[in-house]
Chains A and B, each alone.
Chain A
């Protein structure tokens, strides 16, 4: 659905986006993670055909995005900008209606009514945008981005500044879009959000540092680990496991952390060995360090300079 090949964008001497490539399938949610100035917004703008790459290409379906076909291909793309960007002196309905007409919808009024229903905004339709809360403005902006039923949805910091309830509501909307087979790219600083909704995440700082599912990235950085909490000091049973071929074992108080190849097959075996050795196993869980740890580790290891 969306394919990016060696996308690069320079602003003078500064390289904002450097040789970025990825391909997204219909119904996939892809999160771009990175610090401020990492090139996330620039990437989204290139995907939306708002700015041109210095080199590389963006393909929407079978067509490469260019200056010539950008106005046409933009019909297939919905962009939620970092700020809602509503016309404050106009009503919610009027804001949406202008966009429905700009997108050439066959029945703009019906399209707006449908969007108002989907986003549960029918009762606020006549209200001036200026009077809406930030969460509601963001909801109207998302309705605007989706009004023309785009195949590709680009969301720039969609939950920035929203209260937890509004952020959750927005995440649910995004998940609903996935069920409609829309391809979604989210730029975010919110790692928890990325983990909750994204099928794959890309950590970027001008170039892509890593691209994979959150679980696979975690495994890549920290390995797959099983954490076992015991009723006795963990150090006393380390030998039991090393004898059974487990080599990466960390003992800390009553907790063991064991590096494994596959959690599903290793966890029962570990429990069996420990129980046979007379240990009291209180709990066994797959260790899942927060995505934040993965993100920090990835950026630190990639961009660490030798002292």
Chain B
């Protein structure tokens, strides 16, 4: 644990010296936060129409009519709450995007900078090395995700109809943000670190690691089309599955990390 902490400290210190590496994540966060405000607030205001006038949002109305706790929202508020809740899933992408470049660069970057060999000459085990690398990318990502979430809630409180923000702070949305989000980000990062320890180029790691965005995007589409709804049991099931995936990825990462190849074949 001491060695993981030591290397994690280095990763975070390195990040502080090079904050530009998280710029793509900040941009992704801002975009994923702004998008629902455009749909739910800005576009209707500019068009002079109400969301509840559109037949396209009837799914939202049906969804929210089933929830007695939201009974005090008028149709416009219910549709806004529906839109803002769907886009919470998109906020999961923010930490993933944010940490991907950090994770992708983690092992191959050390090799390219000639800093990996002295590191491997210490008592550091492969598990400790990979764990520190993953956590080093995850920590800033989670901080960013939390910041995005709080700004998102503040924006909703200010610009949406009264009561909409209360509809967002539900056990499901909190579980999505604080359980599914970190677990999905962790899986993405582990994948990126695994790939980073097998390729010669950080770009390859980033591209392959980014594939993890696909299931999150698929979940977003399925939910927004009403194909499935994130309920607490679904969140719990997905969380368990992601925990299993993360454990598997860590074992895979340790098994795939070939010190000898990295030292002798990478140039």
A residues near B (Cβ < 8 Å) are 11, 42, 45, 48-52, 71-72, 74-75, 77, 79, 81, 83-90, 94, 98-99, 101-104, 128, 141, 144-145
Residues of A within 8 A of B13 (CB): 90, 94
Question: What number of residue pairs across chains A and B have CB atoms under 8 A from each other?
Answer: 84
Residues of A within 8 A of B6 (CB): 98, 101-102
- Most A CB contacts (10 A, CB to CB) among B121, B122, B264 go to B121
Question: Is B259 touching A51 in the complex (CB atoms < 8 A)?
Answer: yes
The verdict on A75 contacting B118 (CB below 8 Å), with A87-B14, A98-B9, A101-B5 known, is: no
The residue in chain B whose Cβ has the minimal distance to the Cβ of A72 is B123
- Give chain B nearest CB distance to A81 CB in angstroms: 5
Residues of B within 8 A of A50 (CB): 117, 120-121, 259-260, 263
| 9 chain-A/chain-B pairs, Cβ below 8 angstroms | A81-B114, A81-B117, A86-B115, A87-B10, A87-B115, A101-B9, A102-B122, A102-B123, A104-B123
Question: Is B122 touching A74 in the complex (CB atoms < 8 A)?
Answer: yes
The residue in chain A whose Cβ has the minimal distance to the Cβ of B116 is A85
The residue in chain A whose Cβ has the minimal distance to the Cβ of B121 is A79
Which residue of A75, A84, A86, A88 contacts B123 across the interface (Cβ within 8 Å)?
Answer: A75
Q: Within the assembled complex, what's the spacing in Å between the Cα atoms of A94 and B263?
A: 24
Which residue of A11, A48, A72, A90 contacts B121 across the interface (Cβ within 8 Å)?
Answer: A48
Residues of B within 8 A of A71 (CB): 123-125
Question: Is B2 touching A101 in the complex (CB atoms < 8 A)?
Answer: yes
Please name the 9 residue pairs, one residue from A and one from B, whose CB atoms are nearest each other, closest first.
Answer: A101-B6, A89-B17, A79-B121, A83-B114, A85-B114, A102-B122, A71-B123, A98-B10, A85-B115
Question: Is B10 touching A141 in the complex (CB atoms < 8 A)?
Answer: no
Interface residues of B, count at CB 8 A: 28
Question: Is B264 touching A85 in the complex (CB atoms < 8 A)?
Answer: no
Question: Is A85 touching B117 in the complex (CB atoms < 8 A)?
Answer: yes
A45-B264, A101-B5 known; 8 new pairs, CB 8 Å cut-off, are A50-B120, A85-B118, A89-B17, A98-B9, A101-B6, A102-B122, A102-B124, A104-B2
- Give chain A nearest CB distance to B166 CB in angstroms: 45
Q: Is B113 an interface residue (CB 8 A)?
A: yes
Q: Within the assembled complex, what's the spacing in Å between the Cα atoms of A50 and B260?
A: 7
Q: Within the assembled complex, what's the spacing in Å between the Cα atoms of A62 and B63?
A: 72
The verdict on A45 contacting B14 (CB below 8 Å), with A85-B114, A87-B115, A102-B7 known, is: no
- Give chain A nearest CB distance to B8 CB in angstroms: 10
Q: Is B67 an interface residue (CB 8 A)?
A: no
Q: Within the assembled complex, what's the spacing in Å between the Cα atoms of A85 and B120?
A: 12
Question: Is B122 touching A45 in the complex (CB atoms < 8 A)?
Answer: no
Q: Within the assembled complex, what's the spacing in Å between the Cα atoms of A72 and B120?
A: 12
The residue in chain A whose Cβ has the minimal distance to the Cβ of B9 is A98
Q: Within the assembled complex, what's the spacing in Å between the Cα atoms of A85 and B17?
A: 18
- Most A CB contacts (10 A, CB to CB) among B9, B13, B116 go to B13
Question: Is B264 touching A51 in the complex (CB atoms < 8 A)?
Answer: yes
Q: Within the assembled complex, what's the spacing in Å between the Cα atoms of A101 and B7?
A: 9
The residue in chain B whose Cβ has the minimal distance to the Cβ of A73 is B123
Q: Within the assembled complex, what's the spacing in Å between the Cα atoms of A71 and B18?
A: 31
Q: Within the assembled complex, what's the spacing in Å between the Cα atoms of A72 and B3?
A: 13
Q: Within the assembled complex, what's the spacing in Å between the Cα atoms of A141 and B120?
A: 14
Residues of B within 8 A of A83 (CB): 114
The residue in chain B whose Cβ has the minimal distance to the Cβ of A102 is B122
Q: Within the assembled complex, what's the spacing in Å between the Cα atoms of A77 and B6?
A: 19
The residue in chain B whose Cβ has the minimal distance to the Cβ of A87 is B115
Residues of A within 8 A of B123 (CB): 71-72, 74-75, 102-104
- Most B CB contacts (10 A, CB to CB) among A49, A81, A90 go to A81
Q: Within the assembled complex, what's the spacing in Å between the Cα atoms of A42 and B9?
A: 31
Residues of A within 8 A of B125 (CB): 71
Which residue of A11, A89, A103 contacts B18 across the interface (Cβ within 8 Å)?
Answer: A89
Q: Within the assembled complex, what's the spacing in Å between the Cα atoms of A71 and B259?
A: 13
Q: Within the assembled complex, what's the spacing in Å between the Cα atoms of A89 and B105?
A: 15
Q: Within the assembled complex, what's the spacing in Å between the Cα atoms of A104 and B18?
A: 27
- Give chain B nearest CB distance to A267 CB in angstroms: 48
Q: Within the assembled complex, what's the spacing in Å between the Cα atoms of A49 and B125?
A: 12
The verdict on A141 contacting B17 (CB below 8 Å), with A11-B264, A90-B10 known, is: no
The residue in chain A whose Cβ has the minimal distance to the Cβ of B3 is A102
Residues of B within 8 A of A89 (CB): 14, 17-18
Which residue of A51, A84, A87, A103 contacts B263 across the interface (Cβ within 8 Å)?
Answer: A51
**Could you give, for residues 123-139 of chain B, a 1 whenever the CB lies within 8 Å of some chain A CB and a 0 otherwise?**
11100000000000000
Question: Is A99 touching B122 in the complex (CB atoms < 8 A)?
Answer: yes
Q: Within the assembled complex, what's the spacing in Å between the Cα atoms of A81 and B122?
A: 12
Residues of A within 8 A of B115 (CB): 85-87
The residue in chain B whose Cβ has the minimal distance to the Cβ of A80 is B118
Residues of A within 8 A of B121 (CB): 48-50, 74, 77, 79, 81
Residues of B within 8 A of A45 (CB): 263-264
